[in-house]
Amino acid sequence: MIEISLGKMVLLALIALIVLGPEKLPGAARTAGALLRRVRSGWDNVRSEVERELEIEEIKRAAREAAARAESLQNEMKQTAQQVHAPMAEAVMMVKSSTSDAPVADVSPEDVVGTQAELPLETMPSTPQTHDSEPHGHD
Protein backbone atom coordinates (compact mmCIF):
# COMPACT_ATOMS: atom_id res chain seq x y z
CA MET A 1 0.00 0.00 0.00
CA ILE A 2 0.96 3.65 0.02
CA GLU A 3 3.64 4.58 2.55
CA ILE A 4 2.75 7.78 4.42
CA SER A 5 5.30 9.07 6.88
CA LEU A 6 4.59 11.33 9.85
CA GLY A 7 5.92 14.38 8.00
CA LYS A 8 3.57 13.77 5.07
CA MET A 9 0.62 13.35 7.47
CA VAL A 10 1.40 16.71 9.13
CA LEU A 11 1.70 18.40 5.72
CA LEU A 12 -1.68 16.93 4.61
CA ALA A 13 -3.31 18.06 7.88
CA LEU A 14 -2.00 21.63 7.38
CA ILE A 15 -3.24 21.76 3.78
CA ALA A 16 -6.65 20.40 4.84
CA LEU A 17 -6.85 22.97 7.65
CA ILE A 18 -6.06 25.80 5.24
CA VAL A 19 -8.45 24.57 2.50
CA LEU A 20 -11.41 23.45 4.64
CA GLY A 21 -11.05 25.66 7.65
CA PRO A 22 -11.36 24.67 11.29
CA GLU A 23 -15.17 24.22 11.15
CA LYS A 24 -15.31 21.63 8.34
CA LEU A 25 -12.07 19.77 9.15
CA PRO A 26 -13.52 17.34 11.79
CA GLY A 27 -16.40 16.30 9.48
CA ALA A 28 -14.02 15.82 6.55
CA ALA A 29 -11.71 13.71 8.74
CA ARG A 30 -14.64 11.50 9.79
CA THR A 31 -15.73 11.10 6.16
CA ALA A 32 -12.17 10.27 5.08
CA GLY A 33 -11.85 7.73 7.92
CA ALA A 34 -15.14 6.05 6.99
CA LEU A 35 -14.10 5.92 3.32
CA LEU A 36 -10.72 4.44 4.27
CA ARG A 37 -12.46 1.79 6.43
CA ARG A 38 -14.75 0.82 3.53
CA VAL A 39 -11.80 0.52 1.16
CA ARG A 40 -9.89 -1.65 3.63
CA SER A 41 -12.95 -3.80 4.31
CA GLY A 42 -13.54 -4.27 0.58
CA TRP A 43 -9.88 -5.12 0.03
CA ASP A 44 -9.96 -7.67 2.90
CA ASN A 45 -13.12 -9.25 1.45
CA VAL A 46 -11.55 -9.57 -1.99
CA ARG A 47 -8.36 -11.02 -0.52
CA SER A 48 -10.24 -13.57 1.61
CA GLU A 49 -12.39 -14.58 -1.38
CA VAL A 50 -9.29 -15.13 -3.52
CA GLU A 51 -7.69 -17.19 -0.72
CA ARG A 52 -10.86 -19.30 -0.42
CA GLU A 53 -10.90 -19.92 -4.17
CA LEU A 54 -7.25 -20.96 -4.06
CA GLU A 55 -7.97 -23.36 -1.20
CA ILE A 56 -10.92 -24.84 -3.11
CA GLU A 57 -8.72 -25.35 -6.17
CA GLU A 58 -6.07 -27.02 -4.00
CA ILE A 59 -8.68 -29.36 -2.51
CA LYS A 60 -10.04 -30.21 -5.97
CA ARG A 61 -6.53 -30.95 -7.22
CA ALA A 62 -5.82 -33.19 -4.22
CA ALA A 63 -9.13 -35.01 -4.76
CA ARG A 64 -8.33 -35.60 -8.45
CA GLU A 65 -4.89 -36.95 -7.53
CA ALA A 66 -6.39 -39.24 -4.88
CA ALA A 67 -8.99 -40.53 -7.34
CA ALA A 68 -6.29 -41.23 -9.92
CA ARG A 69 -4.19 -43.09 -7.33
CA ALA A 70 -7.22 -45.10 -6.21
CA GLU A 71 -8.05 -46.03 -9.78
CA SER A 72 -4.48 -47.13 -10.49
CA LEU A 73 -4.44 -49.22 -7.31
CA GLN A 74 -7.76 -50.77 -8.24
CA ASN A 75 -6.43 -51.71 -11.69
CA GLU A 76 -3.27 -53.12 -10.12
CA MET A 77 -5.36 -55.24 -7.72
CA LYS A 78 -7.49 -56.54 -10.61
CA GLN A 79 -4.36 -57.55 -12.51
CA THR A 80 -2.95 -59.29 -9.44
CA ALA A 81 -6.23 -61.11 -8.88
CA GLN A 82 -6.24 -62.25 -12.51
CA GLN A 83 -2.65 -63.45 -12.20
CA VAL A 84 -3.55 -65.49 -9.11
CA HIS A 85 -6.87 -66.69 -10.53
CA ALA A 86 -5.45 -68.20 -13.73
CA PRO A 87 -3.02 -70.72 -12.08
CA MET A 88 -5.69 -71.67 -9.55
CA ALA A 89 -8.19 -72.34 -12.33
CA GLU A 90 -5.66 -74.52 -14.12
CA ALA A 91 -4.92 -76.43 -10.92
CA VAL A 92 -8.61 -77.04 -10.25
CA MET A 93 -9.12 -78.16 -13.84
CA MET A 94 -6.25 -80.60 -13.50
CA VAL A 95 -7.60 -81.97 -10.22
CA LYS A 96 -11.12 -82.32 -11.56
CA SER A 97 -9.94 -83.93 -14.77
CA SER A 98 -7.83 -86.45 -12.88
CA THR A 99 -10.62 -87.39 -10.45
CA SER A 100 -13.52 -87.56 -12.88
CA ASP A 101 -14.26 -88.57 -16.42
CA ALA A 102 -15.42 -85.04 -17.27
CA PRO A 103 -13.34 -83.35 -19.93
CA VAL A 104 -11.14 -80.46 -18.87
CA ALA A 105 -13.07 -78.05 -21.11
CA ASP A 106 -16.17 -78.47 -18.90
CA VAL A 107 -14.47 -76.65 -16.00
CA SER A 108 -14.49 -72.89 -16.22
CA PRO A 109 -12.62 -70.35 -14.11
CA GLU A 110 -15.96 -69.36 -12.56
CA ASP A 111 -16.18 -72.89 -11.13
CA VAL A 112 -12.98 -72.19 -9.22
CA VAL A 113 -14.54 -69.39 -7.19
CA GLY A 114 -17.12 -71.64 -5.57
CA THR A 115 -14.83 -74.69 -5.27
CA GLN A 116 -13.96 -75.81 -1.78
CA ALA A 117 -11.85 -78.77 -0.83
CA GLU A 118 -13.94 -81.62 0.50
CA LEU A 119 -12.30 -82.80 3.67
CA PRO A 120 -13.59 -85.70 5.75
CA LEU A 121 -15.17 -84.66 9.00
CA GLU A 122 -13.50 -85.92 12.12
CA THR A 123 -15.56 -88.54 13.81
CA MET A 124 -17.11 -87.48 17.04
CA PRO A 125 -17.72 -89.99 19.83
CA SER A 126 -21.17 -91.45 19.45
CA THR A 127 -21.93 -91.28 23.14
CA PRO A 128 -21.04 -88.26 25.17
CA GLN A 129 -18.46 -88.87 27.80
CA THR A 130 -19.83 -88.37 31.26
CA HIS A 131 -17.89 -87.87 34.38
CA ASP A 132 -18.88 -89.81 37.37
CA SER A 133 -19.72 -86.88 39.51
CA GLU A 134 -21.65 -87.62 42.61
CA PRO A 135 -22.24 -84.81 44.98
CA HIS A 136 -19.66 -84.91 47.68
CA GLY A 137 -21.12 -83.60 50.84
CA HIS A 138 -19.73 -83.30 54.30
CA ASP A 139 -21.57 -85.32 56.90
Look up the domain containing 86 and give its range.
Answer: 14-98
Local confidence band at 22 (pLDDT 50, 70, 90 cut-offs) = confident
Q: Residue 41 and residue 37: Cα distance in Å, rounded?
A: 6
Does 73 reside within a domain?
Answer: yes
Does 56 reside within a domain?
Answer: yes
Does 79 reside within a domain?
Answer: yes
Q: What share of the chain is helix, strand, coil (3-state, %, to 5)?
A: 75, 0, 25
In the chain, the number of structural domains is 1
Note whether 92 and 104 are within 8 A (CB): no
Residue 134 clears pLDDT 70, i.e. is over it:
no
Does 29 reside within a domain?
Answer: yes
Q: Where is mean pLDDT largest: 3-7, 21-25, 60-64, 82-86?
A: 60-64
Q: Residue 30 and residue 34: Cα distance in Å, rounded?
A: 6
Does 111 reside within a domain?
Answer: no
Does 40 reside within a domain?
Answer: yes
pTM exceeds 0.85: no
pLDDT, tens digit (0-9, with 9 covering 90-100), for 29-79: 899 889 999 999 999 999 999 999 999 999 999 999 999 999 999 999 999
Does 48 reside within a domain?
Answer: yes
Does 132 reside within a domain?
Answer: no
Neighbours of 93 (CB within 10 A): 20
